[in-house]
Amino acid sequence: MKKYYALEVKNKEADIYIFGDIVDPTVKDFWGIDADVSGYSLAQEVKDLDVDVINVHINSYGGVVSEGLAIYNTLKNHKAKIRTIVDGFACSAASVIFMAGDERLMNDASLLMIHQAWTYASGNADDLRKTADDLDKITQGSIEAYKTHVNISEEKLKELMKAETWILPSEAVEWGFATGIFSTPKTDKAAASAQKALFSMVANRMNAQSIQIDAEKVAALILEHIKAELAVPSAPLLVAEPPIEEPAEPTAERSEEPQESKTLNLLFAL
């Protein structure tokens, strides 16, 4: 049977991947389609885990509310620290599971979606009214899960659910659904890499002209050039250079500046 989740355990930490619909195995009898695995089966595996941390990775459009609530409560009641992570979408029942985390993280390119419970119904007017009342109570179960962490009012929460709201990571943190956002690390390695590429470009260009160059010596020359510029007393930062008078017509003695000199001048300018 195909599972909508995977479980990996290493040392005292477990990783659960919920990458699919959260379904009820009895759905097959009604719809004639294959159900994956029930919330009960996953809950049983989670309950027996002897670990310190459980990471729950989520990418799911959701599914059956009862199954989502069962997984949510099993995670909440486990002795381990629960860390839930949205790797794509956490919609509907999957967003409820997300709320089970002591630490709730979203990737910077991920989304939550919350909405009211819905179903198909048939029958007379009394049957339909009862179904509507039942749905209000089922929705309230999800609301209670959200309320354990969100910092917005229940009225605001209900408005968001009624509007079937997609929630950005920044909004999730602001409203208390999430505790943090995974972001691409920012380091200075790119600048170092660019410097290396620049020296390589100069070396390649000069080697093509059979000119020997030492990258370290070039770097030292640049540093000396900068220090010399900074050492000029009382020199303002921005000074217009006096115009250089050019001869009206080029003379035979004048020759074009060597290519390697142009390259070094460009390097100094950088």
Residues serving a catalytic function are 92, 115
Cα–Cα–Cα angle for 45, 51, 53, rounded to 5 degrees: 105
For residue 211, give both structure tokens: 């000119």
Q: Tokens 């900074």 correspond to what residue?
A: 230
Report DSSP letters for 124-176, one per residue.
-HHHHHHHHHHHHHHHHHHHHHHHTT--S-HHHHHHHHHTTEEE-HHHHHHHT
* Cα-based distances in Å from 103 to 110, 197, 204: 16, 41, 51
Measured CA to CA, the distance from residue 169 to residue 181 in angstroms comes to 7
